[in-house]
Amino acid sequence: MSSQLLELYVFVLAAFTGYMVISRVPALLHTPLMAATNAIAGISLVGSLIAAGAAQNRVATILGFVAVVAATSNIVGGFIIVDRMLKMFKREDKKK
Contact 49, 67 (CB under 8 A): no
- Burial label, 64 (beta-carbon count in 10 A; 0-12, 13-18, 19+): buried
pLDDT at residue 66, rounded to an integer: 92
Each residue's pLDDT tens digit in the chain (96 positions)?
688 888 899 999 999 998 888 788 777 777 677 777 777 888 888 888 888 888 788 888 888 899 899 989 988 888 888 888 778 877 777 665
Cα–Cα distance, 75 to 7 (Å, whole number): 28
Question: So where are the chain's domains?
Answer: 28-88
The pTM for the full model equals 0.59
Cα–Cα distance, 33 to 37 (Å, whole number): 6
pLDDT at residue 36, rounded to an integer: 76
